[in-house]
Every structure is written in C-alpha cells, then in structure tokens.
Amino acid sequence: MSNLTHVDASGSANMVDVNSKAETVRVATAEAFIYMSQATIDEVLAHQNKKGDVLTTAKIAGIMAAKKCSDLIPLCHPLMLSQVDVDIEVQAEQLRLRVTSLCKLSGKTGVEMEALTAVSVAALTLFDMCKASDPNMRIEGMRVLSKSGGKTGDWQHPNT
C-alpha cells in the first residue's frame, strides 16, 4: 500500500521535509470543465467575440491563484513558480468550457497542486461571471493531466 508522506508517526498532519529532494525542472498540467446552458454558452461566445472579458478575467484569476496555492492548501510548500499558463476553450457543442493550466519551476517538489488550484479558481471565476445567467452550472473532471521532473519522472493520467 502506498505511503502517505504528509502524515507523521503520531498520525498528525505536517508539512514534510523536501530539503533533501533533488532540484529539478518540474512541470504539471491540469484541467477542469464547467458545464452551462446553451443560452449561457452563447453569451460567453458573444462576449468573447466582442471583448473576451469573461475569459480573460477567469484566466487572470487562475494565474493569480496558482501563486496563492501554499496559502490555501495547508501542507503545500511555498514555491517560486517560473511559469503559469491558463487557457480556456469554449467547447460549445458539449455545452462546456475547458480550462487547462501549466505550472513550471525548478525546485524540490512538484507543482500539480498549483496547476489544480489554477484551473479551480479559473472555473470558479467563470461560474461567478455566468451565474446570473445559469445558476445550475457544474464544474466537472478536475484532475492532473501530466507531471514531469522529480523522482517519479514523466507521468501522465491514464485516461488521456
């Protein structure tokens, strides 16, 4: 059975020591989807054509959130991200928006939580900006897509 490194001998959570880990270039990508009604997708598309503000606002929110990851997740280490990308694709036929992120740094611990935090807050921002139009929206399929660097090396989610 795998070994949960965040739990100390007495069973209490701690921010584990990563000092002895190797400093390598680490990249992680993540994704999430937000499902909305046809009318709301249409509104987003119309705004995107005109100004793109809904998408840009969500994108900026996602980038800023990646930098706050260790403030939000109790046992995440503070990190100096060297890159954060967030992209949002309107997949109108599936009645959804796809949010993806990429985080990168040269460091001693992985950045998948930063990548997940970015897609999470970008999706919540889309929710906030569209909720007057469709309060029934759902955020689905939030997961890590891939990781590279560190001890485990390249990893990809089996369903990609």
Binders of its own copies in range 26-55 (CB under 8 A):
32, 39-40, 42-43, 47, 50-55
> Which CB, 11 or 93, lies closer to its own copies?
11
Contact by Cβ (8 Å): 92, 41: yes
> Which CB, 80 or 93, lies closer to its own copies?
80
131 binds its own copies (CB under 8 A): yes
From 45, 92, 94, 138, residue interacting with its own copies (rule: CB under 8 A): 138
As a whole number of angstroms, the distance between CA 26 and CA 153 comes to 9
96 binds its own copies (CB under 8 A): no
9 binds its own copies (CB under 8 A): no
Contact by Cβ (8 Å): 119, 32: yes
Any catalytic annotation for residue 128? yes
For the annotated catalytic residues, the residue numbers are 128
